[in-house]
Chain A
Amino acid sequence: MNEETKKKINQKYEHKLAHGERFWPDSLYKDAVVALGIFLLLILLATFVGVPGEPKADPSDATYVPRPEWYFLFLFKFLAIYGQIPVLGRIEWIAAVLIPGIFLIVLTLLPFIEKKPDRHYSKRVLPISVMGIFVVSVVTLTLIADHPLKWDAQYRLTSLLQVISGLIIPTAAYLLLFLFSFLLKDQRASQGMVLTAGLSGVLMVGLTASVLFLAPVPEVEEVFVANTLPDRVVAGQDLYSIHCVECHGDDGSVTVIEGVEGLDGTVTSPISGMDVLYTFTDATIANIITYGQQDLGMPPFGKAAGGELSVSEIDYIVTFMRYSWDDRFEMPEIPELFPPLAEGEVPSYEVHIAPIAKRFCISCHREGKDNNNYLMTSYDEIIHSGDSAPNLVAGDAESILLKVIQEQNILDENGEEIIGVMPPKSVLKPDVVDVWVRWVMAGMPETVDGAAALSDIVEPVER
């Protein structure tokens, strides 16, 4: 750049300054308004959206699908799409390091690469087109980052669209842009470039939209996170009821295990006793749950040792044990398992039956246990599964399940017991039995709304 151009630029700037404004307060005023807007937006986000809860880091959980921060998602997706290229796609560092590296160097040295003093956009068609395609790429790649890139029948089309929009179009567009800028002259060159950039941008957006429309993101199973102490205790109790009750009993007082396949007669220390709770730290109890005590018959439960419980879940169980049984701790107020029923009110599966089943039944009535194939982890299973199905018939007070929870076992013709009373080692409280009976008699509604429609709540009429 020669001195004359510099002088011209500086003169022009002086002129602009003379007809401009003052930094204080004119510009600062706009800055302050924007800052206030951002600040209020952040307060709103913090208040109404909050920070999503996440379970504690669990290095042993190999099933977790890793995902980078959202602002690196575009790079992550680019890597995935790049990996689809035959042969070249195998060399990961080209996409992970080389391409971003080149991009960064170009970006940094931009003032020395684009040396012409022209500033108006009409004279900078090439750079603006390149940047435009880059920005559209970043945005669209971020948007489709969670969509599967697989070549089975279900995803073949959308995967192809992703590759086209994320890799082929931008590459082709860049090539065309440089071709135009070198081969064509002035007017025609810029026309070609504007056309290329505009067209590829529209295509990328269109393809991304169709990917979003055609391929629903596979739903990530939401992991429950207990935040408050009562939540943690309840979560711990539910998990205890599923995984520990069989051997240790619902109050943790079992000393000799009974009725558990392979462990019958095994001696265990009562885990609700002070010998255990005073002398074992939280970490010790968590380790025992995680790794088990194989020589004593206790299997491992933590994911780290091949079990199914996460670090957070084991943490909840320990919290439950401490606050329920350790007399040095004061139990916080715990919400009820299910809301009490009014006279004439019909319970629903989602509000009443599901938590009851979780607390008292699922321990055995789930996959992989000796339970006559009667599973109780979902609405359908409770109603339809089992070797002696149907265990529940709407409106039938003689349904098998209702009988066994009211201490009547089921016998075959020879008087042999087929199904014993349930739960095998304890008796359900009358209010829990009442929920079951009402639910079955009213037609077993799944949802709250369904139950409300069947309800005939006796309410004093006010006049």
Chain B
Amino acid sequence: MWRKLYAWLEDRLGLEEIYKATLDRPEPKGNWWNTLGSASLFLFLLQGVTGIFLTVYYTPSPDHAYDSIQYIMNDVAFGWLIRGIHHWGSTLMVIVVFVHMVRVFVTASYKYPRELTWIFGVGLLLLTLGMGFTGYLLPWNQRSYWATEVGTRIAGSVPLIGDSILRVLRGGPDLSALTLQRFFSGHIWIIPALLAAVIGVHLYLVMRHGESHFPDKDD
């Protein structure tokens, strides 16, 4: 019975092929340093899950953002846990992604044939920092408000087009409700969508070329 059902599904879905292509791949002898990439992916997924649950209560408006976070932290069951994981997860994700980049650099894994994997990887590092930057403003507390004030001003110091960049980031000349709304949208839709797409490409390339082996003396 199960066998039949499996065969039917297999016929339609090609599970074996997916299994062969994604999971049953040969790899060079592994090393714990190789887990950094998957750890980044794990953190991305965890941030996604906890982030989605935070939006159940969070309200992106200067009038309500702070109070809604206070509510999550103090009144919602396990709200402190969900937000705590999301808060510390962001810190850990930046660290893990950065260390992953350094590891790939040290083992020179970005060389032929993995150049593109590296370029998309740098994109992922920048997008991760973008997630951190946009997410930081959302609690609308003193620390986040002033960090964003400074951050956007630094971006605005670009010669000639600085003022335009600043206005685009803030949604106007000042840090306001528009900024919060923009950062919220960027944090939950735009950047995650980009991240997911680039992660897809990055993973495809990793599978296509296989994980690089640790270099030995004659490499």
Contact = CB atoms under 8 A, between A and B. Distances in A.
Nearest to A29: B30
Nearest to B82: A46
A22 interface: yes
A55 B143 CA distance: 8
Given A16-B29, A46-B85, A227-B73, A34 B143 contact: no
A43 B83 CA distance: 10
B201 to A, nearest CB: 15
Interface stretch (B2-10, B148-156, B183-191): B148-156
B28 A17 contact: yes
Interface residues of B, number: 81
A61 B142 contact: yes
A99 interface: no
Given A13-B213, A71-B129, A108 B119 contact: yes
A279 interface: no
Contacts of A20: 26-30, 213
Given A66-B150, A69-B133, A117 B112 contact: yes
B158 A97 contact: yes
Contact of A121 (B81, B132, B149, B215): B215
A64 B141 CA distance: 12
Interface string B106-149: 11111111110011001000100100110010011111111101
A38 B112 contact: no
A349 interface: no
Contacts of B108: 114, 118-119, 124, 127
Given A30-B34, A135-B102, A55 B141 contact: yes
Interface residues of A, number: 80
A434 interface: no
A111 interface: yes
The secondary structure that dominates the B interface is helix
A93 interface: yes
B142 A56 contact: yes
A13 B25 CA distance: 14
What secondary structure prevails in chain A residues at the interface with B? helix
A47 B27 contact: no
B53 to A, nearest CB: 13
B112 A121 contact: no
Nearest to B129: A71
Interface string B144-173: 111101110010011100100000000000
8 contacts: A12-B213, A13-B28, A45-B84, A46-B83, A71-B129, A109-B119, A111-B110, A227-B73
Interface of A: 1, 5-6, 9-10, 12-13, 16-24, 26-28, 30-31, 33-35, 38-39, 41-43, 45-47, 49-51, 54-59, 61, 64-72, 75-76, 79, 92-93, 96-97, 104, 107-112, 114, 117-122, 124, 127-128, 131, 135, 223, 227-228
